[in-house]
Amino acid sequence: MHDAAAPPAWVSLAYLIAGICFILALRGLSSPESSRRGNRFGMAGMGIAVVTTLVTHEVASLVEILIAIAIGGAIGFVVARRIAMTAMPQLVAAFHSLVGLAAVLVAAAAFLNPSAFGITGADGLILPVSRVEMGLGIAIGAITFSGSVIAFLKLNGNMSGKPILLPVRHVINLGTLAAIIGLIAYFTTDQSPWIFWTVTALSFLIGFLLIIPIGGADMPVVVSMLNSYSGWAAAAMGFTLGNSAMIITGALVGSSGAILSYIMCRAMNRSFLSVIAGGFGGDAAAASGGPTIDRPYKRGSAEDAAFLMSQAEQVIIVPGYGMAVAQAQHVLREMGDLLKKEGVRVKYAIHPVAGRMPGHMNVLLAEANVPYDEVFELEDINSEFAQTDVAFVIGANDVTNPAAKTDRSSPIYGMPVLDVEKAKTVLFVKRSMGGAGYAGVENELFFRDNTMMLLADAKKMVEDIVKALG
């Protein structure tokens, strides 16, 4: 049963320590070098928060809770061990959905048995402030759940990555959001069950409607945005439960996710409001046709690539999702090491949204033990392409497409891209000429005079290049 009295001093101290651990975790996760330490701080903070909550609250069955924790922990351990790095974005989206669903279930439990949560007044009714917290928690949680399910389906390939545009979608979305806000306001004066469950149903619906129109080019922003939503849902439920650890944790996750989403929108030259309102560039993406492959292009071999790079003064490697799919990061690092032995300067250029989620490429390169001082973000290295002999692009499509600078009809127009076309020679590793990037547009870089296409599986091509260099 929830204890409405002020908690003992040691409980507040324990939650404060947990909050500090979460802050240190976020600080550690800001860099690949400190990410493991950040994860350890996060785990420690969560352990302190969970143990403190279990010790200070009366529960129906501690044994059942411990069994549930053991089952969940075992599932998480197995999933983390087996999941491929290429599937990490889908996993993150799936975890966000579970956080949202947990908020919905907690809100439902509080509504059905408010006295157990200590949120009733003298008249036996739910306190008005608790109704606001409950309404916001279930609305944000339901939106997080349904939106994350759509994001998972798109990232996992079960649903097309192209925007699915509904007629008058903005009117539908705004009308649904207005209805949710109005019903939550009405819920403060009337706690009838139909109001609560209508808010729940509409919130599930708006989650689907908001994410379906968002195309693949904006999916990294969606993942970050849903992360923020899950934090705010947890914070809202923290107020309902009177749990300061949940409030602190939720606020940290919500604010950090919102800041990351804003930073990513700036990196992509997107308006945050236009993305969450239904997908920036969606109409252009739907109108653009599929890739055309009847234009002339240069094709090269692994031997050609090895010769060009061995003669270069500087090579900039640009990894993308294709590298992740082929699991080519380890052999790519081996290629870089061989080039350095030949006296070639080797650098890695990372676009903020390369892959399917923020930091995807950084994690893969760190996994392959690529030195951190060789990895550069877009704003730090873009000016160097003009003085670079070879740009080696491996599976990075949309983030290197020059059309983003010139083609106003393109769904990626205005998105800052890596200026690889300015290099003396561009070596572009791609499985075939028949596919387009996740945004569904063809890359103009393929057909430039200074581009040589290396058509093969990314890992196999780099392995052949390594043999040629050896």
pLDDT number for residue 283: 43
Active-site residue, from 3, 190, 398, 464:
398
pLDDT number for residue 35: 80
pTM for the whole thing?
Answer: 0.73
Full 3-state SS string of the chain? CCCCCCCCHHHHHHHHHHHHHHHHHHHHCCCHHHHHHHHHHHHHHHHHHHHHHHHHCCCCCHHHHHHHHHHHHHHHHHHHHHCCHHHHHHHHHHHHHHHHHHHHHHHHHHHHCHHHHCCECCCCCECHHHHHHHHHHHHHHHHHHHHHHHHHHHHCCCCCCCCCCCCCHHHHHHHHHHHHHHHHHHHCCCCCHHHHHHHHHHHHHHHHHHHCCCCHHHHHHHHHHHHHHHHHHHHHHHHHHCCHHHHHHHHHHHHHHHHHHHHHHHHCCCCHHHHHCCCCCHHHHHHCCCCCCCCCCCECCHHHHHHHHHCCCEEEEEECHHHHHHCCHHHHHHHHHHHHHCCCEEEEEECCCCCCCCCHHHHHHHHCCCCHHHEEEHHHHHHHHHHCCEEEEECCCHHHCCHHHHCCCCCCCCCCCCCHHHCCEEEEEECCCCCCCCCCCCCHHHHCCCEEEEECCHHHHHHHHHHHHC
In 3D, which of 111, 467, 83 has the Cα closest to residue 310?
467
How many angstroms separate the CA atoms of 222 and 458, rounded? Answer: 28
Q: How far is CA 466 from CA 306, 310, 330, 338, 448, in A?
A: 8, 11, 12, 8, 26
Q: Does domain 302-469 have CATH number 3.40.50.1220?
A: yes
pLDDT in tens, 93-132: 888 888 889 889 988 988 988 887 778 888 888 888 888 8
pLDDT number for residue 40: 92
- Would you call 389 a catalytic residue per the annotation? no
How many angstroms separate the CA atoms of 97 and 141, rounded? Answer: 8
- Whether 322 and 397 have beta carbons less than 8 Å apart is answered as yes
In 3D, which of 351, 202, 215, 209 has the Cα closest to residue 282?
215
pLDDT number for residue 232: 86
* Contacts of residue 412, Cβ cutoff 8 Å, sequence gap at least 6: 217, 281, 398, 401, 403, 404, 439, 441
pLDDT number for residue 69: 87
Residue pointed to by tokens 């350095």: 340
How many angstroms separate the CA atoms of 241 and 374, rounded? Answer: 47
Residue 218 token pair: 């904006």
Residues in the chain: 470
Residue ranges per structural domain of the chain? 1-82, 86-285, 302-469
- Whether 141 and 102 have beta carbons less than 8 Å apart is answered as yes
Residue 331, Cβ density class (10 Å: 0-12 exposed, 13-18 middle, ≥19 buried): buried
- Per-residue pLDDT of the chain (470 residues), as tens digits, is 444 456 678 888 888 898 899 889 888 877 777 888 888 999 999 899 888 888 887 777 788 888 988 998 899 889 888 887 667 778 888 888 888 898 899 889 889 888 877 788 888 888 888 888 888 889 999 999 998 888 888 877 777 666 677 787 778 888 998 999 999 999 988 889 999 999 999 999 998 888 888 766 667 777 788 888 888 888 888 887 777 888 888 888 888 888 888 877 776 666 767 666 655 444 444 444 444 556 788 898 999 999 999 999 999 999 988 888 888 899 999 999 999 999 999 999 998 777 767 777 888 888 888 888 899 988 889 999 999 999 999 988 888 888 888 877 776 777 788 999 999 999 999 887 766 655 567 788 888 889 999 988 889 999 999 999 87
Residue pointed to by tokens 């892959």: 355
**CA torsion angle 414 417 420 422 (round to 10):** 40
From first CA to last CA, the distance across the chain in angstroms is 69
Cα 76 to the center of its chain, rounded Å: 18
